[in-house]
């Protein structure tokens, strides 16, 4: 198992290389055959194909992988001494299907419940957001220095409605009461990209109930490397599903 600083650097570089390669494949065009169409969700063949490309690219690391499409050991976050990858091969699948630009490849390296490094490749926008423990954060390899709003009244909230979210009138009323504390609210349909925005200071807060680990792990690694904070709590709905609040300032965690 890679433990040295040099090995961690190598893994960080590997994640960036693999994410960029997968993004180029998706940008060039991939199989948009719909494999699963739910009331509020869609899966296409490109999700599966891209995850296999990523797994093949990460194979030299000899580390286990948890992926949205091809699964993995859901107990890995409970094993504090194990390094492993968390992969979302195509976050924002519906956006990709409709040729909307907010979509990305997301790769994170974790040890137990701690995200150590993350890469989010916004291949439509030609931007690679990356961050790692001890390295800070970067956009296209250029060091970023996030500046977050001073208070919630000036802050930009990134959020979304996951497929399994409670959308009853009462739940939506509570949601509105909460988000109206912010200056602006943005929903872009890609949790990975939205959390990365907070990590590099393009937004200030991300919150969502019932998101999956592969949706947010890379973004949380970027946020952590930038000095931000987050609260990730199991939703109780299914393994690797969480309620998340990710913020630039610690006082916003509550």
Which stretches of the chain are assigned E, i.e. beta strand? 34-37, 42-44, 65-67, 83-91, 104-111, 114-122, 127-132, 136-139, 142-144, 156-159, 184-186, 205-212, 229-234, 241-247
Q: What is the CATH number of the domain that holds 193?
A: 3.40.190.80
- Contact (CB, 8 A) for 114 and 207: no
Domain boundary among 144, 179, 213: 144
**Phi-psi bin for 162: left (phi > 0), alpha (psi -120 to 50), beta?**
beta
Which of 26-35, 112-121, 156-165, 220-229 is predicted least confidently? 156-165
The proportion of the chain whose per-residue pLDDT surpasses 70, expressed as a percent, equals 96
Q: Are residues 209 and 112 in the same domain?
A: no
- pTM (predicted TM-score): 0.94
Q: Residues 208, 139: one domain?
A: no
Query: For residues 169 and 128, what is the distance between their CA atoms, to the nearest angstrom?
Result: 38
Q: pLDDT tens digits, residue range 41-69?
A: 788 999 999 999 999 999 999 999 999 99
201 in Cβ contact with 224 (< 8 Å): no
CA pair distance 14, 127, nearest whole angstrom: 17
């Amino acid at each position: 198992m890679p433990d040295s600083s040099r090995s961690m650097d190598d893994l960080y570089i590997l994640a960036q290389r693999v994410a960029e390669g997968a993004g180029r494949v998706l940008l060039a065009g991939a199989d948009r055959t719909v494999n699963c169409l739910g009331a509020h969700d869609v899966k296409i063949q490109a999700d599966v194909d891209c995850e296999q490309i990523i797994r093949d690219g990460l194979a030299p690391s000899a580390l286990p992988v948890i992926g949205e499409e091809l699964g993995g050991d859901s107990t890995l976050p409970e094993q504090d001494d194990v390094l492993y990858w968390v992969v979302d091969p195509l976050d924002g699948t519906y956006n990709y299907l409709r040729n909307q630009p907010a979509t990305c490849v997301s790769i994170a390296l974790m040890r137990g419940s701690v995200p150590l490094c993350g890469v989010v490749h916004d291949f439509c926008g030609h931007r690679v957001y990356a961050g790692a423990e001890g390295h800070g954060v970067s956009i296209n390899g250029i060091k970023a220095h996030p500046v977050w709003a001073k208070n919630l009244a000036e802050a930009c909230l990134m959020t979304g409605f996951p497929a399994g979210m409670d959308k009853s009138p009462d739940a939506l009323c509570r949601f509105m009461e909460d988000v109206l504390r912010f200056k602006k609210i943005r929903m872009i349909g890609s949790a990975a990209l939205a959390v990365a925005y907070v990590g590099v200071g393009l937004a200030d807060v991300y919150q969502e109930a019932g998101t999956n680990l592969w949706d947010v792990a890379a973004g949380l690694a970027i946020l952590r490397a930038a000095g931000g904070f987050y609260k990730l709590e199991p939703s109780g709905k299914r393994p690797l599903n969480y309620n998340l609040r990710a913020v630039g300032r610690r006082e916003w965690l509550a």
